[in-house]
Amino acid sequence: MSQVPPASPRVPPACLNCGEPLQPTASGAAPGHCPVCGQETRVRPATLGELLQQFGGAYFATEGALWRSLKLLLLKPGELTRQYLAGRRKHYVLPLRLYLTISVLTFLLLRLVAGVSMTLQLPSDLDLRQGLWTVTHMQSPINAGLNNGSFFCRGLPAWFCNRLETRLDTDPKGLRREVEALPGRFISNLGGAMFLMLPLFALLHKLAYWNRRLHYTEHLVFALHLHAFWFLCLLLTLLPFTWLSWLVALLVPAYALAALRRVYGGRWHWLCLRAGLVSIVYGLALAIGLVLLVFWSLLF
C-alpha cells in the first residue's frame, strides 16, 4: 500500500496574523512571509518537536540567554544588573522574566519537596475539640481559637473572626484536614507575597541611594536580580545537608554586599550602614508580611 504524501502547507490570501493581503512575488509564487508582520504564510499544525523548540529556543540553548544570565548572576554579584543599566540587554534574560522563572521553579520545588515535611502530622487520637487550642495569640487582648470545641475571637476585626469561625466550624475530621493543610497553603501563597515585597525593597534602595539619581525602575531591576539569587540559595536548603543551610546563611548577606558595591559603588563603611538600615526596615516589613500571610492562608 502506497503512503499518502502529507498535504502541502496552505497559503491563505491574507496573513492570518495581521490580515494583510498577500501579493504574489515576481515569479508568481506566494510570499513565504508576511511583508508587514513577518509571520510565515505557509501554515500547518506544528509537530511536537517544533513545539519543544519554540518553548526552548535560544532561551535554553547551551549558549543561550538563560545560561549567560545565570553565569553572571551566580559568579559576579551585581554584574547582571550593571550590564542591564549600561544598556547591554540583548544577550541576557530580562530581569522580570528571570525572576519569575527562578521563583516559580523555587516555589514549585519547595511545594513538592518541603511541603511534605512541613505538613502537620497530628496524632490519630488527638481531639482538637477538647482543651484549649489558640489559633493566634499575639498578646492577651488579641487571641482566637477553640476552647473545648467553642470558638472564641477577641480583639480582632469582625470579618476576620467570622471567616475564621467558618473555617473552624466543621466536623473533627474536617478540622484536622484544615490544620494539616495550612503549611501547604502557606507555601502556595509565599511566592505571590514575595513578589509584592519587591516594590518595597526597591523603594528602600531608592531612598538609601537618593544621591545616585537612579530611576525607581533601575532599583527594581537590582531587587529582581538579588531576590532571584536568594531563591536559588533557598533551593540549596532543600538538599539533605545541614552544612548547606549554614553556607546559605553566610552567602546571602555576603553576596548582597558584593552586589551593592558593584551596582552602587561607594565606600564600604557607608555601604554597610545603608545595607544595615535597609535590612532592618525590610526585615520588619517581611516579618509583618509573613504573619499576614499565615492569616491569609488560614482564612482562604
Q: What is the pLDDT of residues 237-281, one digit of tens each?
A: 888 888 888 999 999 999 999 999 999 999 999 999 999 999 999
- Pick the more confident residue, 119 or 167: 167
| Sequence spans of domains, the chain | 98-119+181-299
Q: Which stretches of 90-230 are assigned E, i.e. beta strand?
A: 132-139, 142-147, 150-154
- Model confidence at 62, pLDDT cuts 50, 70, 90, reads very low
Three cell numbers written together for 215: 530611576
Place of cell 466536623: 171
Check whether 24 has a pLDDT greater than 60: yes
Q: What is the pLDDT of residue 146?
A: 74
Place of cell 470558638: 151
Check whether 236 has a pLDDT greater than 70: yes
Average pLDDT, the chain: 80
- Pick the more confident residue, 221 or 180: 221
Residues linked to residue 14 through DSSP beta bridges, in sequence order = 21
Q: What is the pLDDT of residue 59?
A: 54
Give CA separation, 7 vs 42, 44, 50, 198, in Å. Answer: 11, 9, 18, 51
Cβ neighbours of 255 (radius 10 Å): 19
- Pick the more confident residue, 11 or 103: 103
Average pLDDT over residues 124-142: 59
Query: Taking a C-beta distance cutoff of 8 angstroms, is the pair 227, 44 a contact?
Result: no
Please give the order of strands across the beta sheet that includes 132-139.
132-139, 142-147, 150-154
Check whether 5 has a pLDDT greater than 60: no
Check whether 92 has a pLDDT greater than 80: yes
Residues linked to residue 144 through DSSP beta bridges, in sequence order = 136, 153
Which helix (H) or strand (E) is 208 found in, with range?
A: helix 172-208
Chain segment 28-52, per-residue pLDDT in tens = 677 888 888 888 877 776 676 666 5
Query: Taking a C-beta distance cutoff of 8 angstroms, is the pair 283, 175 a contact?
Result: no
Q: Which of 295, 99, 107, 291 is nearest to 187 (CA)?
A: 107
CA 60 – CA 292 distance, rounded (Å): 37
DSSP reduced 3-state for 46: coil
Q: What is the pLDDT of residue 169?
A: 65
Q: What is the pLDDT of residue 241?
A: 84
